[in-house]
Amino acid sequence: MCALPYTPVICKSMHGITCLASTPVADARRHDASLATADGIVSWLTVYDQENFQGKRVEFTSACQNIMECGMDTVRSLKVECGAWVGYEHSSFCGQQFILERGDYPRWESWSGSNAYHIERLMSFRPICSANHKESKITVFERENFIGHQWEITDDYPSLKAMGWPSNEIGSMQVQSGAWVCYQYPGYRGYQYIMECDHHGGDYKHYREWGSHAQTFQVQSLRRVQQ
């Protein structure tokens, strides 16, 4: 169990991005566990302005729209202590997005994808409130606007093609429950797109709704987000 240095405000399914109240939580004592309740999940993220968990440190339990407003110029390493988060290339939750599940991220390589274009620092963060590894469901469609061949998915697929999906693209998606990460290439590589049941009402009808960095319908693997 996570012994948090504050009274947690429980993360409930909502359309906004802020899940918990107090932020940042400075100098919290370290505990290595997660806290789940009947209503939701506590989120807790520690960021550092130097690699390998060095330098200035700030802790978050809710979304951070711009790291510079929290007295940091950059984030070069981080630890996800509780919950699942998304980190963004730019402030205001823009640019490339990176799924951050529990664990240690000592430098950019540990959160980045395999793209030639490196994201060496992160500028905004938010918890993923709807992540529910055990009860996740997404329907993928062959074409945009929920048209064409469709397939309901409840498990992880490192290769959609191996499971019978006919192409390298997904036209649109509806997230019925939980949160998902879709990847451009097989084996969870390339651009990442976080899809949540409580954003856009779970509807992602065109790649332009997948994120500000999306430029193609290409999706070759996808998986549930783990809390």
Q: Cβ of residue 98: shortest distance to a copy of itself, in angstroms?
A: 8
Q: Cβ of residue 166: shortest distance to a copy of itself, in angstroms?
A: 7
Among 54, 92, 114, 154, binds a copy of itself (CB under 8 A): 114
**What pairs with residue 87 in β-bridges?**
98, 125
Give the nearer residue to a copy of itself in terms of CB position, either 78 or 175: 78
For residues 183 to 202, the per-residue mask of contacts with a copy of itself, x marking binding by CB under 8 A and - elsewhere, is: -xxxxxxx------------
Site membership for a copy of itself, residue 118 (CB under 8 A): yes
Site membership for a copy of itself, residue 53 (CB under 8 A): no
**CB atoms closer than 10 angstroms to residue 63:** 20
Distance (Å, whole) CA 62 – CA 43: 7
Give the nearer residue to a copy of itself in terms of CB position, either 15 or 226: 226
Distance (Å, whole) CA 150 – CA 147: 8
Among 13, 22, 23, 34, binds a copy of itself (CB under 8 A): 34
Distance (Å, whole) CA 162 – CA 165: 7
- 141's CB contacts (< 8 A; 6+ apart) are 147, 148, 149, 150, 170, 171, 172, 173, 174
- 162's CB contacts (< 8 A; 6+ apart) are none
Which residue ranges make up the site for a copy of itself (CB under 8 A)?
32, 34, 80, 99-105, 108-116, 118, 156-163, 166, 168, 181, 184-190, 220-221, 223, 225-227
